[in-house]
Chain A
Amino acid sequence: MTAVLETRGLGKRYRRRWALSDCTLDVPAGRVVGLVGPNGAGKTTLLHLATGLLRPTTGTIRVLGEPPPATPAQLEKVGFVAQDTPTYAGLSVADHLRLGAHLNRNWDARLARDRIERLGLDPAQRAGKLSGGQRAQLALTLAVAKKPELLILDEPVASLDPLARREFLQGLMETVADQELGVVLSSHLVADLERVCDYLIVLVASTVQVAGEVDRLLATHHLLTGVRRHPVTLPEGQEVISASHTDKQTTLIVRTDGPIHDPAWTVSAVGLEDLVLAYMSRSAPEHRPALEVQR
């Protein structure tokens, strides 16, 4: 099976700032991929590179085994919902579906109509008058009804309230199950991704910190607590991702493929959120990126 997303030393520079640097990834097909990182980490840049909206400064990127979409045939294989789910404010919901039908050869008009009906959207309503959640659903409908092989969503739920968030992700998962398409979605909140993703990429400060199957990430990372030790020394093959110390206690998040035998540590499982946070704080010890408050 070809990788849905394959990058080698991928980098993108805006004037003097690198938005993404030395990014090497192999995302296997058939996964729901979560791309997580704080705001400004380079998530949008990576996704725009994957949709062909941006061109890389360095390195290569292949999407579904091909260079980023440039021809109509390639563009049709990738569905994209951009950040803030842009739609034409002056066009009605029905107009948007007509737009999709005119611009995509594989357009599934029935699927689009059914989805709009199920969501309870009025086809005559102008997109500018829709709520944020409805607009996100409309944008997702457009991306799904073109029958893509890969669906890319950039912070699709960032501007939604918790209920709309859950409904959106639920709808997304149903669609994924129905159509067997690959999905890459980004968020700065792990909680959004936890329920839907089986593959995770942590991107912080324009570099990939860790990438892999969620199950495997959880199996290879452990939370160690014990009597305060500073500095910490661990056996070969055990990598400290984060360490925090109180007066009496040391808490570590450690990555290792093998078991941990040292009886001085109490070993417990790491939640996905803690794991991601560990990588985020590791990458920027000076000024740790604060997770943004949900809007």
Chain B
Amino acid sequence: MRKPEQVGLLAVALILVVGLPLGNLLPPSSPLHVSNFTLNLFGKFLTYAILALGLDLLWGYAGVLSLGHGVFFGLGAYAMGMHLMLEIGSKSVYQSALPDFMVWNQVKDLPLFWRPFYSAPFTLVAIVLVPALCALVFGFLAFRSRVRGVYLSIITQALAMSAWLVFNRNEMNLGGTNGLADFKTIFGVPLNQPSTQRMLYVVTAIMLVAAWALCRWITQSRAGKVLVAIRDSETRVLFSGYSPASYKLFVFVISASLAGVAGALYAPQVGIITPAKMGVLPSIEMVVWVAAGGRGTLIGAVLGAIGVNWIQSWLTTSYPDLWLLFLGALFMSVVLFIPDGVVGALGRLAQRLRRPSASSLDAPLLGQATLGSSRARGSDTTV
């Protein structure tokens, strides 16, 4: 990695981890003041960024396009949400030890699978382990039988669809369509206080940096090189004596765990988790964050998640009708014009500016590969 990029990354990390919370501490009259609302909003964006990192690892590096990451996000969020629901205890509307929705649904005893979530350490483990185990089972079955490419994408989409259907059911005892909401405290600290939200934000930002470091470590390692090789030619990797299925399974599980962590940080900051967050549409929206930011570059995934969601929160409040049109147009234009995302396109632009006559050999691998193949394809489709 070159020097200026390192400095830039460090600056971004510092602004996110230290700058925004400090801005929040400043008095409202200060020009650098960051309101509670903005900080909370960014906390949400950063959880998305953690998820986008995992998704980028899976798609941008290993070439596995999952359209079901909302499920893992949801599982993490529900695990956290269940603990928060139990923490409410009898302070709820119905003053029952059970969560309110169970009172409505006339559930008398706490279902067995809810019980372990009384324990905070168990919850923290479950946040990672539940999505990871689901991903392990699903990924094992899928990758072992060499389900790949669009087949895998469609199967994961069906997974998102099924999870959404199941979590919507009241008899699952997970709150049905309304999901889990109305949290009061987190690990004993009241959630509605600005200091708690600031703390949550800082934790999220630190987790994001940690997730980035983890992904970077993986991509720089030998395994990371194998992943890229799998993306570019899986058969050749197989014939070279590697087992693509194990590598893909590994990265799928890592990616699902990151999504779970993201979900767990999302639930207390947003204050609600519903099945709508794990359906087909949110899952594929996650893919467009990565695509727009630049897949195959970790920083691209982070910037994409923050950028697209920033635009979304602005558009859905100012012009709610336009959001889906914009999202659709974003999908299409990213795929058509900048397959390597904003970061990749900027990188190519910078390269061209630096050395006007440079050969394309040094350009980012992904962008060149896709652009090159489109050119080659173009020639035989237009005959």
Answer yes or no: are A and B bound together in one complex. no
Which A residues form the contact surface with B (CB < 8 A)?
none
